Amino acid sequence: MTDYTQMWADLGLDLEAHDALLNMLGSVYGDIYVSQKNRPEGMGYFDFVMSEIHGLRIKELLDAKAEGRKVIGSFCVFVPEELTLAVDGIQVGLCAGADFATDESEKYLPRSTCALIKSFFGFKLGKVCPYIELSDMVVGETTCDGKKKAYEIFKELQPNLYVLELPQMKNPQDREILKTEYLRFKDELEKLTGITINVDRLRKGIEIVNNKREALHRLAALRAADPAPISGLDALLINQVAFYDDPPRFTEAVNKICDELEVRIKNGEGVAPKGTPRMLISGCPMAVPNWKLPAIIESSGGIIVGEESCVGERGERNLVDESGDTLDALMDTIVDRYFQIDCAVYTPNPDRLQHIESMAKDYNADGVIHYSLQFCQPYMIESYSIEQKLREENIPVMRLETDYSQEDTGQLKTRIETFVEMVKRSVVMS
Ligand code: SF4
Ligand code: SF4
């Protein structure tokens, strides 16, 4: 195995804390992922990427930087990767999914801040994230109030932070705000790299991201089969890796696993018996290594068939129209695609309700588990309307609030087992 200690030290990581993080990750990964039965062979690629997420992938990024390419770190799916690729940049996700250096984070942030925000502060303060340390620009955005205000403080820790302003509503004037902001982001990228975006560069960027999204749509559609050909845990992992891996290589690996899943479906093979209660997860994004809830669901007799989440279908659905032949036309189609993202920070947000309902139907879900991080007001408050809407449609629904700690695992398991059992009975009776 390659020793990356010097590389991590050069990035300024706290080697002791970083070792502790990698050991924790390795053991959780072994317990949750490697222990699964009947995984598709194609998951070998994603296991490899995960095993090298702080190793080989970081080396690749540093090599690319040495050739003059820039790395853009992002916390949100509103940051258009198409523009980053158009300046030969590499975009990586930074959203942290584990508690780290929480005591340190709480010196800057109120305790009642969602785990995701505390986590990215903790990874920075604990000096354990190679991605943020090598980023040439880190992009924040004015989505929820928590993130918006936290970035004011985070800028002290990460001076190359750039904040995108996002609208809060979906009226024509809000679309104009998004377009203005994407043009400002384009200028910023051009300044950073010295590369001017032209039609060919932008179209190429759009094509690469569209290919990645199409592969993920293909994977999502295959999960409609009963028995499910892949576990929700593995499908989530693929969606998580989408934020880190080289896009064309990732696209090829997803299409390869889809070929394998198609054969499984044809042969009636799955990861759980036909008739296993099928769950849709909806809510806050699940960044690496936030696997707690899916692991509980799939060890409680359920199988997850879709994620209505930014690490999932909310983040990946819809393509950008590649046909425009002017820069302005292409920028417009990028704005059109991203303006459809139905994050709970929008008000009102009826599209999300409809999307959850249609996902439940498209993937033949028997029940919906709505997941909010504690203190995440947009998703916690929106879950009320979602529950009402799904009940009207006779779709069983359960709302959960949790964080990244393991303290509530037992309690969550009891509630989820009861829900899965209830769903199972209703399926048998219908
Ligand atoms: S939930 Fe909203 S703020 Fe968070 S990543 Fe998704 S779009 Fe961005
Ligand atoms: S989980 Fe909720 S509160 Fe936390 S950053 Fe995302 S939208 Fe904001």
Virtual torsion, Cα 155, 243, 288, 128, nearest 10 deg: -50
Ligand 1 atom with minimal separation from the 341 CA: 7
- R_g of the chain, CA atoms, integer Å: 21
pLDDT at 1: 80
Please state the three-class secondary structure of 403-417 as a single string. Answer: CCCCCCHHHHHHHHH
Residues of the chain with CATH 3.40.50.11890: 5-172
pLDDT at 18: 97
Token readout for 102 is 């929480």
Measured in Å, residue 128 CA sits from the centre of ligand 2 at 22
* C-alpha 35 – ligand 1 centre gap (Å): 31
Structure tokens at 233: 């845990």
CB of 146 shorter than 6 A to ligand 2: yes
Q: Where in the chain is the domain with CATH 3.40.50.11900?
A: 211-318+344-429
What gap in Å lies between CA 88 and CA 95, rounded to an integer? 22
Q: How far apart are CA 283 and CA 344, in angstroms?
A: 9
Give yes or no for residue 121 CB within 6 A of ligand 2.
no
pLDDT digits (tens, 9 = 90+) for 325-367: 999 999 999 999 999 999 999 999 999 999 999 999 999 999 9
Which of 81, 282, 310 is the pocket-test mutation for ligand 1 (most atoms within 8 Å of CB)? 310
Query: What's the pLDDT score for residue 96?
Result: 82
CATH 3.40.50.11890 is right for the domain spanning 5-172: yes
Distance 374 CA to ligand 2 centre (A): 9
* pTM of the predicted model as reported, rounded to 2 decimal places: 0.98
How high is the pLDDT of residue 27? 95
Predicted pLDDT of residue 426? 82
Name all residues whose Cβ lies below 6 A of ligand 1.
Answer: 76-78, 143, 285, 310, 341, 343, 345
> Which residue CA neighbors atom 8 of ligand 1 most closely?
76
Per-residue model confidence as pLDDT tens digits over 211-232: 999 999 999 999 999 999 999 9
Number of residues that this document lists for the chain: 430
349 alpha carbon – ligand 1 mean position (Å): 13
Counting ligands in written order, which one lies closest to the CA of residue 121?
Answer: 2
Instruction: Pick out the chain residues at pLDDT < 50.
Output: none
Can you tell me the distance from the alpha carbon of 71 to that of 64, in angstroms, rounded to the nearest whole number?
A: 9
Residue 84's closest CA among 166, 193, 178? 193
Q: Which residue has the tokens 């004011």?
A: 152
From the options 2.140.10.10, 3.40.50.11900, 3.90.1150.10, 3.40.50.720, give the CATH code of 211-318+344-429.
3.40.50.11900
DSSP string, 191-204: HHH-----HHHHHH
Q: Is 83 in the pocket of ligand 2 (CB under 6 A)?
A: no
Output the residue whose Cα is nearest ligand 1's atom 7.
343
- What is the predicted pLDDT for the residue at 57? 98
- Ligand 2: which residue has its CA nearest to atom 7? 144
Residue nearest to atom 2 of ligand 1 (CA): 343
Ligand 2 geometric centre to CA of 286 (Å) = 11
Q: Determine whether the shortest distance from the Cβ of 144 to ligand 2 is under 6 A.
A: yes
Residue bearing the CA closest to ligand 2, atom 2:
376
Calpha distance 257→271 (Å, rounded): 14
Give the pair of three-digit tokens for residue 351.
């599209």
